[in-house]
Structure 1
Amino acid sequence: MKNLVLAIFTSLVTQPFCNSDSFVLCNTYNFNHLTSKTNLNIDTSAKKMRNFVIEISKYAKEINPDFLIIPQNGIELCFNELEPSNGFHSNYMNSIDGIGVESLFKHDSTETTNNRLKSLRILKDYKKVFVSDYQQKGLLTRTVSSKNKKEGFASFPRDKENYDYIKIPTFVSQENKNDILTINDVKNYLYLINYSNFESKKQLLENIKNTNYDLILIDLFFFKEQFTKEEINSIKVKKNGGSRLVISYLNIGSAEKFRYYWKSKWKLGSPGWLEKKYEGYDDEIWVKFWRRSWRKIIYGNNNSYIKKITDAGFDGAYLDNVEAYYFLKFD
């Protein structure tokens, strides 16, 4: 969710994994500006992240076959060898249910917008696209929502007062009374993972119940108190009576010091997989996500994050910091 977007794209042609139609992508993925050694490190690390997401999905769907997996950013992981000209990576595409991106239509990044938009226009035919846009001027939120609607993306626009996903906006893009039974039914969503504006869990839940968002994206915990299955089920109905989906935020690329798994003796470099300072976020450290110790925290056992999310009755998980592979070299 940190608006760390890889804007490294060049002209290419792609072929989808499930048919023989071809599409032209201009200014898509390229590492021409990198050394071959760095390129190899990134390619290797990207494969590890892709496998990580696939393994998370496999574990979650063994528990609940309908469980949704939505990685945020790292769009290029959808393609073989990170190159759209090599077609979709079928295992990865089959393991995910949607794609999340941040700041697609940010007012000061036209070139980046055009680059990513070309990829998303291909991906949207196969996976639901969720766009969390940031606009410094609140008046632009409706304009951004219109752009996302035109593209067929689910939209969550936010202004500078909601940079950290701390508010419930009164404006709901494409508000509707529909029952949301599948991810493809979603037209809008609420992205709310900072609860500083709420004095209690009850207050938070009541505020969410009073909305008509198609999908609710929240954290598994209200500060350090985990939501119960009953509480999550209570917000699966919109104010207007329509059903909706509720998914949980999950950071898989960096460790957060305020989480249940964090140990007081931990620090940068200890354990060894706490690899790199996360600039701008003092409570987070980039992790060597391919390490077994980190993966055990995320999935595969009864105390893992994914198991807690499924037990709490969430419909899916929104995987953040998927692009961590770009900031770390694989060892």
Structure 2
Amino acid sequence: MRRILLSFFSPLMILSCSLDDLPDDINQKSTDYDKEMRYLVEDISTYAKDINRHFLIVPQNGVELITTTTTTTGPVDETYLNATDGIAQEALFFGANGIVDEPTSTSETRRLQTYLDLAKDEGDRILITDFASIIRNVDDSYQDNEDAGYISFAADSEALDNIPPYPDEPFNVNSRDIDSLGEASNFINIINPRLYSTPEEFVDALSETNYDILIIDFFFNGETYTQEQIEQLKEKENGGRRLVLAYINIGEAQDYRYYWKSYWYNTPPEWLLGEVPGEPGNYYVKYWQQGWQKIIFGNDDSYIYMIVDAGFDGAYMDGIDAFEYFDSSDY
């Protein structure tokens, strides 16, 4: 855990202590939620890359963390960006308010792009998931993102549960071998396999596509993929090699995950808070506390270790914007 220095207005005494050692009321008041989320991403990156130096780290949303002040005019947090290989954002052009085909306001698009361009200028690849089903909107989404220098995916379902029928081939389809995010021209974000009956059916369907990057959940209905299935996913239908990233939520607990204990509903651990409104099964967590972080990374039983060990090329990390909840409430 990160450590802080507390001064009690005495020139004779400066106390160094861990956040976890502080009483709850002091801990809450002294926690910098923005920094703690940056620290979590950075620590996950260090841990994963120590196991596999080529492992990719891509946080989604919460792009305000790109600057040290979380404002568009603040200086770039180079330590944070050095820990990431890409930055992902949802609904940059389409999908406002979680509605497919709803255009994002020009002002919000510009605000988000200010952060995204700072990351792009530092060498991060920008991955945009827009939500569009009308052909005109799909075409505009791909073109607008390409004009901005980003790669994108136009999902026709908010659930991210299918391979869109349009376009017939991925935007800027190619048969190149993709060994880094910078070499990719497109991707698909399909983290919900609910329309598929078995892992084999899901893997076979994706294997018949030519996307440069696949973003999938680490589990299929609680079941992990075999090494053979992951290797199968890494090959495009046209023979080119591609990247496969595993989705993980590091800012919220989910009651359908392997780590969830049934007694937590009545007797939750200290770091587990209430259910996220509008997201059944998702719970706020004190992501800066050791109890939660031990679930996510740092040991052979952790979520990130399992993703790296399974052979995925990287982690696509959701829940990054959880800091906004803590910044705006007393929870």
Are 1:157 and 2:154 matched, yes or no? yes
SS at match of 1:266: helix
Residue 179 of structure 1 and its aligned partner are, at CA, apart by 1.2
Counterpart residue number, 2:198:
200
Secondary structure at 1:111 match in 2: helix
- Which one of the candidate residues 303, 311, 314 is aligned to 1:313? 311
- Could you tell me how far apart the structure 2 residues matched to 1:151 and 1:276 are? 38
1:244-283 deviation per Cα after TM superposition (whole angstroms, max 9, x unaligned): 0001001001101100000011127722222232111111
Is there any run of 5+ residues in structure 2 with no aligned partner, and where?
1-27, 95-102
Shift of 1:121: 2.4
Contact conserved, 1:268 with 1:274, CA < 8 A, in 2?
A: no
Give the distance between the partners of 2:276 and 2:221, measured in 1 at CA: 21
- Per-residue CA deviations over 1:137-175 (Å, capped at 9, x if unaligned) read 35411111111111111111012xx11100012321211
C-alpha separation between the residues in 1 aligned to 2:73 and 2:218? 38
Note if contact 1:229-1:311 (Cα within 8 Å) is conserved in structure 2: no
Matched letter for residue 230 of structure 2: I
Q: For structure 1, which runs of at least 5 residues remain unmatched after alignment?
A: 1-39
- CA displacement, residues 30-76 of structure 1 (integer Å, 9 cap, x when unaligned): xxxxxxxxxx9798100000000000001000000000000001112
In 1: Cα distance, 2:35 partner to 2:117 partner: 23
Post-superposition shift, 1:86?
3.8
Contact 1:189 1:217 in 2 (8 A): yes
**Distance across 1 between alignment mates of 2:83 and 2:266:** 32
**Partner residue of 2:282?**
284
State the Cα deviation string for residues 193-229 of structure 1 (Å, max 9, x = none). 1111101111001001000000000011111111122
2:118 aligns with 122
Q: TM-score of the superposition, structure 2-length normalised? A: 0.83
Given that 2:76 and 2:118 are in contact with CA atoms closer than 8 Å, whether structure 1 keeps it comes out as no
- Normalising by structure 1, we get a TM-score of 0.83
Q: Verify the 8 A CA contact 2:120 2:126 in the aligned structure 1.
A: yes
Deviation string 1:279-323 (CA, Å, 9 cap, x unpaired) is 111111111101111000000111100011011100000110101
1:78 aligns with one of 66, 74, 96? 66
The answer for the alignment partner of 2:50 in structure 1 is 62
Are residue 131 (structure 1) and residue 119 (structure 2) matched? no
Give percent identity, aligned residues only: 37
Greater RCO, 1 or 2 (C-alpha within 8 Å, sep 6+): 1
The match for 2:214 is 216
Cα separation, 2, equivalents of 1:242 and 1:280: 40
Q: What CA RMSD, in Å, does the superposition of the two structures yield over aligned residues?
A: 1.9
The answer for the alignment partner of 1:270 in structure 2 is 268
Q: Which amino acid aligns with 1:200?
A: T
Aligned length: 290
1:145 aligns with 2:133: no
SS at match of 2:278: coil
CA distance in 1: counterparts of 2:74 and 2:193, whole angstroms: 42
Report what 2:25 is aligned to. Answer: none
Structure 2 partner of 1:28: none
Any idea what SS the aligned residue of 2:188 has?
strand
1:297 partnered with 2:292: no
- What SS does structure 1 have at the residue aligned with 2:317? strand
Superposed structure 1 runs of 4+ greater than 4 Å apart = 40-43
2:130/2:155 contact within 8 Å kept: yes
With 317-326 and 105-114 compared, the bigger mean Cα shift is at: 105-114
| Displacement of 1:111 | 1.9
**Partners in 1 of 2:30 and 2:204 — Cα distance?**
44
Please state how far the C-alpha of 1:84 moved relative to its aligned partner.
4.5
1:232 positional shift:
0.7
